Amino acid sequence: HQLVLQAVWSDPRIASVCSSIENVQQMEQNTMAARVYKDPLSPGALKTLGQIAALATAPMCPGCPNCEAWAQKTHYAFQDISRYVSYYESDGNTEARETYRQLTNQERSPEGVDLARIRDECQYHVDYPEIARRSEYYFG
């Protein structure tokens, strides 16, 4: 987490950042990252960090045109649901369950939706079939 903050601070294109702090330990970690930050990360370190991030499976699509087009064509709220699963898994955000349950039955049902095709067409290859399975497990 501290390395991510330092990478953000090293990027002159980013003017501000909002970091969620849910407890004292996270506040101390963010404060420590700010204290030890002296110079921007080297281009080599940023490149390595980018390569590591590229190897990780994207938990949700940041909004590629293909997913945006699919969102207009389907009743299934796959973008919202992937966001809720991401919040739940990465932050332990239990409010995600309640937000998921506020969706209509139709918005929660992947029935008749080709999630594998959406995954294959997503520029970030978000695994929507797996996310649908996990959302049902976590929130269903």
Q: For residue range 128-140, what is the model confidence (pLDDT) as tens digits? A: 999 999 999 999 8
**In whole numbers, what is the pLDDT of the chain averaged over residues?**
88
Tell me the pTM. 0.65
Q: Residue written as tokens 């992937």?
A: 82
Give backbone dihedrals phi and psi of 21, rounded to 5 degrees, phi first: -125, 110
Position 75 scores a pLDDT of 95
- Determine what percent of the chain is predicted with pLDDT higher than 70: 96
For 110, which DSSP code? Answer: -
- Reduced to 3 states, what is the DSSP secondary structure of residue 46? helix
Position 34 scores a pLDDT of 85
Domain ranges of the chain: 2-55, 65-139
Is residue 101 within 8 A of residue 79, CB to CB? The reply is: no
Give backbone dihedrals phi and psi of 111, rounded to 5 degrees, phi first: -55, 130
The stretch 9-38 carries a mean pLDDT of 84
Select from 18, 41, 21 the least CA-distant residue to 91.
Answer: 21
CA 18-14-82 angle, 5° bins: 55
Return d(Cα 92, Cα 84) in angstroms, integer.
10
- pLDDT for residue 1 is more than 70: no
- pLDDT for residue 53 is more than 80: no
- pLDDT for residue 112 is more than 80: yes
The stretch 21-46 carries a mean pLDDT of 86
Residue 79's pLDDT band (cuts 50, 70, 90): very high
Alpha helices in the chain (DSSP H): 2-10, 24-36, 43-55, 65-73, 78-91, 95-101, 105-108, 115-121, 128-139
Position 18 scores a pLDDT of 77
